[in-house]
Each structure stands twice: as C-alpha cells, then as structure tokens.
C-alpha cells in the first residue's frame, strides 16, 4: 500500500504569526485645541483678531524703525495706509454720558488726529482735550476693533449760581465755573454773591448742613471781604455771621434754635447781626434796633 508524501510548508525561523490589526483609536484633541474650542467666539473671529494683532504689531515696528532713521512722517503715512487697507481705521465714534456737552465738539476733538488708523489714534490726547471743557469732569477713551472709537464722559453737575461783577455763572459743588446763565433762565439753585464766592461753595454747603431747618429758607449767601458770610432768606431778612468757620457754625445753629422757638423770621426784622459772638442785634424798620445776648457755646 503506497503512502502519500506529506507536504510540509517551510516557514522562516523566528517569524511571528500575523496578528489581526487593532482598531485605531480616535486622536485625543490637544490642550491648544480644547482652549480654542472653549473661547466665546468662532474660529473665524479668532483669525481676524490674530490678523489685527499682527498688523498692529508690524505697523508699530515699522513706525519705530522709521523713526529711528529719522523719517517719522513718512513712516506714519506708510503705516496708516497699511493699517487702513486692513480695515483698522476709525469709521464710527460712540459717545456716552453727555447731557450738556455739545456732541459735535466731542467729535471734532476725537477726529482731529494726524491719522484715523486705529493703532495710531492718540487716546491720551483726546482725553486731555476733552478735560479742558468745564462741563467734563472725567473722560474715558478706548478702541473697539476693528473700527470704533468709544468715548464715555462724566459731566459735572450745576450746584449753585455765582454772581460776580454783574455776571451770573453756573458752578459745580466744588465751585468750578461751568457756563454763564441769563437772569431769565436761572435754574432753581442757591445764589453765591461776591468775588471768590465760587471757591467757597464747599464751605457754604458745610455751613448750611449745621442748620438743616434753615437750608431751604436761604436764598443767597454773600461772601464778604474774603472772610465771612451774610445769608439772605427768602422772606427778605439778612443774617450777618462772624468770621471763622467754627464761630459761624455756632451762630447759625443758635439762630436756628431761636427761630424754631420764637419765630424770628417773618416778624418784620430787616437784619440780624451776629458778627460779635454772644450778641445778636436785630434791626427793625425805621432804624429801630434791639440788642440781645445769645449763648452760642456748646
């Protein structure tokens, strides 16, 4: 009986059997990709921001190099052209906070620049110009890329009317003159009278705080000889106070107490003279005067 020959397959010594290819795992996003995905704007917006930053940086470097070589004017023109072509130029100005300031005045001060390219607009210069206007207490100027200049103005508030040398002027709580006002357009504000009285507005307010009941009854405060106050009431009487803030405050407090107890005002008296501490002289019509002692101490 014949035997079939056994076929043997030759294998290379040391060759490992083939393994089934493992399934490829998805690639985990890098930290940079995760950070970009977490940003509150799109990839396109991020690209534009990067472009603006590069343009601004290149422009600044170009301007610096040109200035180093003594050609700043030509450099500014070149940089302005490059930045402007990239869309980074002032096309809109947003102004907030103005009530008394003229809007066109603000626009003029903002646009009076050598260049309207956003990186070259001098924000500090715009603020400095605006602060020269009496109504402007503070100003904040900033850029909003690509094309908006933002201006926020804090205006002063009128607190009194200052009368000096025949002119009426609105002043703020610190006494800064704001603008003239005519007699037929006077707002309902306290009246300050006398040279330098505007600078004493904080002191006048502090003085009247000593007698809250009298504050709404005082129509005008006259600064006399750069040393003391005369107060005029809405009912026509005048109260002459002594020199010195402390003595004036004591006298006013005492007058308020006497008025509350005895009703000094609206009794026909023309003038109350308290310039001498401890005494009050009351002048009546036809020259009649009455002197009384008052205790103004604490």
109 and 74 share a domain?
no
What is the distance between the alpha carbons of residues 78 and 160, in angstroms, rounded to a whole number? 52
- Residue 134: inside a domain: yes
Task: Specify the pLDDT at position 145.
Answer: 85
Total structural domains within the chain: 3
User: What domain range includes position 147?
Assistant: 87-155
190 and 255 share a domain?
yes
Distance set, CA 97 to CA 60, 139, 156, 230, 268 (Å): 32, 9, 11, 37, 48
CATH number at residue 104: 3.10.20.310
- Residue 180: inside a domain: yes
- Is the full-model pTM beyond 0.95? no
State whether residue 110 is helix, strand or coil: helix
52 and 140 share a domain?
no
Structure tokens at 149: 């200049």
Tell me the β-bridge partners of 198.
none
Task: Specify the pLDDT at position 210.
Answer: 95
Which ranges constitute the DSSP H helices of the chain? 31-38, 43-68, 72-85, 103-111, 123-130, 201-208, 245-262
- Residue 196: inside a domain: yes
Taking the chain (298 residues) in runs of 10, the rounded mean pLDDT of each run is 50 51 58 54 55 54 50 50 62 93 93 84 94 96 90 97 95 96 92 96 96 96 96 96 95 95 91 92 79 62
Query: At 50, phi and psi to the nearest 5?
Result: -60, -40
- Residue 17: inside a domain: no
- Residue 258: which residues within 8 A CB-CB, separation 6 or more? 264, 280, 294
Task: Specify the pLDDT at position 202.
Answer: 97
Task: Specify the pLDDT at position 179.
Answer: 95
- Report which of 160, 161, 143, 141 is spatially closest to residue 151, judged by C-alpha positions: 141
Task: Specify the pLDDT at position 37.
Answer: 57
Task: Specify the pLDDT at position 94.
Answer: 94
Structural domain ending residue among the three candidates 30, 52, 84? 84
254 and 186 share a domain?
yes
Structural domain ending residue among the three candidates 51, 84, 117? 84
């Amino acid at each position: 009986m014949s035997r079939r020959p056994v076929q043997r397959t030759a294998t290379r010594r040391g060759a490992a059997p083939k393994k089934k290819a493992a399934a490829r795992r998805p690639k985990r996003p890098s930290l940079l990709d995760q950070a970009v995905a977490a940003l509150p704007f799109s990839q396109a917006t991020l690209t534009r921001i990067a472009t603006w930053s590069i343009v601004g940086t290149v422009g600044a470097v170009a301007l610096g190099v040109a200035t180093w070589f003594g050609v700043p004017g030509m450099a500014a023109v070149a940089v302005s052209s490059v930045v402007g072509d990239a869309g980074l130029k002032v096309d809109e100005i947003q102004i907030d906070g103005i009530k008394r300031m003229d809007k066109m005045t603000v626009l003029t001060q903002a646009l009076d620049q050598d260049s309207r390219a956003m990186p070259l607009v001098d924000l500090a210069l715009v603020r400095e110009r605006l602060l020269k206007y009496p109504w402007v207490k503070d100003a904040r100027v900033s850029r909003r890329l690509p094309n908006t200049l933002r201006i926020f103005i804090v205006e002063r508030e009128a607190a009194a009317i200052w009368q000096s040398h025949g002119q009426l002027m609105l002043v703020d709580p610190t006494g800064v003159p704001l603008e003239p006002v005519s007699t037929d357009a006077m707002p309902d504000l306290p009246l300050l009278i006398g040279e330098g009285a505007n600078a004493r507005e904080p002191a006048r307010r502090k003085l009247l705080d000593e007698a809250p009941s009298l504050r709404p009854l005082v129509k005008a405060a006259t600064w006399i000889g750069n040393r003391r106050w005369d107060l005029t009431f809405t009912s026509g009487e005048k109260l002459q106070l002594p020199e010195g803030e402390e003595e004036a405050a004591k006298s006013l407090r005492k007058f308020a107490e006497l008025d509350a107890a005895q009703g000094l005002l609206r009794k026909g008296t023309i003038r109350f003279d308290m310039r001498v501490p401890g005494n009050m002289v009351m002048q009546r019509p036809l020259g009649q005067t009455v002197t009384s002692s008052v205790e103004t101490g604490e």
